Amino acid sequence: MQTILVTGGAGFIGSHTVRQLLKNNYKVVVFDNLFRGHAEAVPAGVDFEKVDLLDKKGLEEALARYKIDAVIHFAALAYVGESVSDPGWYYEVNTAGTVNLLNTITKAGISKIVFSSTCSLYGNAEHIPISENESLKPINPYAKSKYFIEQILADFNAAGKLSYIPLRYFNAAGCSPDGEIGESHEPETHLIPLVILNALGRGKQLKVFGADYDTPDGTCIRDYIHVLDLADAHLLALKHLLAGGTPDVFNLGTGTGYSVLEVIRKVEEISGKKVDYVVTGRREGDPATLVADNKKVKEKLGWNPVYGLDEIITHALNWYRNPKY
Ligand code: UDP
């Protein structure tokens, strides 16, 4: 049985990936500082270490307790606004923290890593849908902190120390269909949770950030990808590396975009409740349209996302009606 270290395994995408790994008979070790992760999201049968990537000694000591075959690295800060007001924090936690992780794992002889990257590396893309060939123009410190990590991974690879796959997510959403684990961010800034909480009568009035974009209804279009489809892509990337496959980078999205108003309508339709919203000004840094060209990952890894917006909203509604944490 192969053992996979998952950093940030108590977080949203990390916890769903941990469960998929267990279902596929991997042994899993989670490192998480629980700053924004949830201990309740880590299932029984997983070895858990509360450790911070900035604590080099703690990291080395924790790693020495296991024999790891590969790493999936999620642990990071992930709010754009926060990164703009405190860039040093983002570069320290995301970029320097990852350098600590890479130094520690490579010293321990671990040479395979799947990395949680983002479509925000493309900034305001020129071509829609966005393929991996689009030029990288990160426009905020969060995106840049991830961009630098991709460059650093390439340098470790050139030095013969690591084989790696960055996965560039579009808009991660949805929850486990069984309602056992879900999304719980504090503060919550993402569209789908906010629309659902509003429909359930638990949120403030929703602000639609701009209805004057160059899109059919004027609101921004995003490619919402179910967290379980994302988790499956991590397993495929992992298998590729474990089988000796070459480093590569992949976009993870469905290839279909929905506007903010379409998401609101869909939540109203599925929940049977009205959403209370108001159109306000644009949010800084929001590109009009972000939709993935996912041909490469389908061809090279055989990934095939199975969930659409209906399931994303149905599963998330199920979770928010009865959140476990
Ligand atoms: N959005 C919105 N109101 C909100 C939160 C988000 O209108 O309260 C819009 C946002 O401008 C973007 C889309 O919903 O066009 C998705 O935003 P989210 O923060 O979920 O993800 P992002 O695209 O920023 O990664």
Sign of CA dihedral 233, 238, 241, 247: positive
Residues tagged active-site: 142
Is 191-223+255-321 the same fold as 3-170+225-252?
Answer: no
Q: How far is the CA of 104 from the centre of ligand 1 (A)?
A: 36
Mean pLDDT, range 91-119, rounded to an integer? 98
Mean pLDDT, range 267-273, rounded to an integer? 98
Is pLDDT above 90 for 285? no
* Lining residues, ligand 1, CB within 6 Å: 171, 189-191, 194, 206-209, 220, 222, 260, 283, 286
Q: What is the pLDDT of residues 156-214, one digit of tens each?
A: 999 999 999 999 999 999 999 999 999 998 889 999 999 999 999 998 999 999 999 99
Q: What pLDDT sits at residue 237?
A: 98
The number of beta carbons lying within 10 Å of the beta carbon of residue 306 is 10
| Range 191-223+255-321 classified under CATH 3.30.70.980 | no
Q: What is the pLDDT of residues 30-74, one digit of tens each?
A: 999 999 999 999 999 899 999 999 999 999 999 999 999 999 999
* pTM: predicted TM-score of the whole model, two decimal places: 0.97
| Range 3-170+225-252 classified under CATH 3.40.250.10 | no
Q: How far is the CA of 190 from the centre of ligand 1 (A)?
A: 6
Is the CB of residue 33 less than 8 Å from the CB of residue 57? no
Sequential DSSP letters for 265-320: HHHHHHH-----EEEEPPPTT--SEE-B--HHHHHHH-------HHHHHHHHHHHH
- Residue ranges per structural domain of the chain: 3-170+225-252, 191-223+255-321
Q: Which amino acid is at 304?
A: N
Q: How far is the CA of 191 from the centre of ligand 1 (A)?
A: 5
The 3-state DSSP class for residue 225 equals strand
Q: What pLDDT sits at residue 30?
A: 98
Distance CA 229, CA 297 (A): 12
